[in-house]
Amino acid sequence: MTSPSQMSLFPLSVYMQRICPQKNEWRYYAMVIQPDLFGGAALMRRWGRIGAAGRIRLDLYANEGAAANALAALVRHRKKRGYQLVS
């Protein structure tokens, strides 16, 4: 069984949160890799305040491996910003 702070080797989806009640911070960051219509992969990112619709960004990649590399880099960046993985 993996700990909540450890992600699988090649995840296709990740959900992270940053909660700090003292600062009234209740944030989420979700990422999903999906196939696109042209044989590549799309990395869909959604972020915002917990309970709100938030914002969405879609990045296109040549293949699923490139999208997984981008997802891993974003997870590392978000962890530095105080986000924690949620299972």
pLDDT of residue 3: 47
Report the candidate in 24, 12, 7 with the shortest Cα–Cα distance to residue 86.
Answer: 7
Query: What are 6-18's pLDDT values in tens digits?
Result: 555 667 999 999 9
Q: What is the pTM of this model?
A: 0.83
Binned at pLDDT 50, 70 and 90, residue 41 comes out as very high
Distance separating alpha carbons of residues 55 and 48, to the nearest angstrom: 6
For residue 9, the model assigns a pLDDT of: 63
- What percent of the chain clears pLDDT 90, i.e. is strictly above it? 85
